[in-house]
Amino acid sequence: MAILETRNLKKYYGRVRALDDVSIDVDAGELLAVIGPSGSGKTTFLRSIAGFVKLDAGHVYIEGKDITELPPEKRDVSMFFQNYALWPHMTVFDNVAYGLKLRKMPKEEIEKRVHDVLKLLDIEELVDRKPSQLSGGQQQRVALARAIVVKPKVLLLDEPLSNLDAKIRLRIRFEIKALQQKLNLPTVYVTHDQEEALSIADKVAVMHEGKVLQLGTPEEVYKSPVNFFVADFIGTNCVLTLKVLDGRVKIGNKIFEVSSKETARMVVRSDEAEVLEARAEPGKDGLRIPGEIKGKLYMGSKYRYEIRIEESEDALFVNSGESFKIGEKITVFVPDGSYFVY
């Protein structure tokens, strides 16, 4: 059974649609990643579950109970704020214990639970510090500890890694995933980083202009995007604008039927494309586009090539371990399933 259910959520700010008929469920222990560019409504979605956004329409249920009209303090969901929002006038202990004190727990029980959660997050030694004495990573853990110590029914994470260094971010990604599985907490994880979302989530919702464009497993969203926006937003891509003739597009060795009238767009997963010698025959099925090397960047383990093709004004950017000369004629090979035409 889904712990968290949202039904037809709508929120308009004037003419801007922050939430436009959003319905998503999160099951027990499931991690839902909500991704989209800024202004797509993903944070509004999160805040409406926490009760900080008054919905124009729709309902939020937790364990089957309608909480749409409840104030934030009665919802039993914990929200992690992007900027951590630690209280500067309290120690780490008081920050973490705040929610427990409100629940009128006995003192020993509070101390035990705060101690346990700090141990779980490996920050026991910080218990008496003030937030201003902590590093960014430590603050992030304290904020996380404060959110989970109250054992909420649902955990809401708003860009939890965006204020951390790129190096720490990768490690913490694993830790958050492990922690979430250990606590078996239904979690909504908002991020603008599609790679982060794919790697951590059980289920991904791609949002744009207040709408959920696609909801599915990371594999589904990556391998079968429903439209151009999703295809382009997920993954590392090149977009080619192609001419349409009689409802058809011809590129390389393939011809596609399209519905668009004058131009069509092709999304190419550039991570999966390869640069081959002009006459090479790849062993697999796929799209082969003849082209010419226009630019070359040395990237250490590989080269990054800018490639001109006949069919489009747009350049393809593809990495390859092999060295080609500028001006050399080559073939770009894209395996089936790694390009999409809309």
Partner 1 sequence: MNVARITLRIAAVVLILFIIIGPLVGIVLWSFAHRWYWPNPIPQEFGLRYWQMVFRQGRILDSLLLSLTIAVIVVGLSLLFAIPAAYGFARYRIPMERVLLVLFLMPQAFPQLPVFINLASIFNRIGLGGNMWGIIFAHTMASLVYSVWIVTATFRSIPMELEQVARNLGASRLKTFFTITLPLAVPGIIASAIFVFLWSLGEFTAAFFIGAPFIQTATVLMYTASMGYNMQIASVIAILLIIPSILFMIIIERYLKAEYLAGMGG
What is the per-residue binding string for partner 1 in 265-304, x denoting contact by CB under 8 A? ----------------------------------------
The H or E element that residue 289 is part of is strand 286-298
What is the closest distance, in whole angstroms, from the C-beta atom of residue 95 to partner 1 in the complex? Answer: 9
CA end-to-end distance (rounded Å), the chain: 36
Task: Name the 3-class secondary structure at 57.
Answer: strand
Give exposure, 270-281, as e/b (b: 16+ Cβ within 10 Å): bebbbbbeeeee
Pairing mode, strands 187-191 and 154-158 = parallel
For residues 110 and 103, give the distance between their C-alpha atoms in angstroms, rounded to a whole number. 10
Task: Name the 3-class secondary structure at 42.
Answer: helix
Interface with partner 1 (CB under 8 A), residue total: 27
Q: Are 316 and 270 in contact (CB under 8 A)?
A: yes
Candidates 2, 68, 98, 335; binder of partner 1 (CB under 8 A) is 98
Q: Please report whether residue 178 would count as binding partner 1 according to CB under 8 A.
A: no
What is the per-residue binding string for partner 1 in 126-145, x denoting contact by CB under 8 A? ----xxx-------------
What is the closest distance, in whole angstroms, from the C-beta atom of residue 37 to partner 1 in the complex? Answer: 22
Q: Please report whether residue 179 would count as binding partner 1 according to CB under 8 A.
A: no
User: Which stretch in 8-16, 47-55, 172-180, 291-299 sits in contact with partner 1 by CB under 8 A?
Assistant: 47-55
Candidates 18, 40, 41, 99; binder of partner 1 (CB under 8 A) is 99
Q: Please report whether residue 61 would count as binding partner 1 according to CB under 8 A.
A: no
What is the sign of the dihedral through the CA atoms of 259, 260, 263 and 265?
negative
For residues 284 and 298, give the distance between their C-alpha atoms in angstroms, rounded to a whole number. 28
Neighbours of 261 (CB within 10 A): 8
Span 63-92, contacts to partner 1 by CB under 8 A: 71-75, 77-79, 81, 83, 85-89
Residues that bind partner 1 (CB under 8 A): 50-52, 71-75, 77-79, 81, 83, 85-89, 98-99, 102-103, 130-132, 146, 150
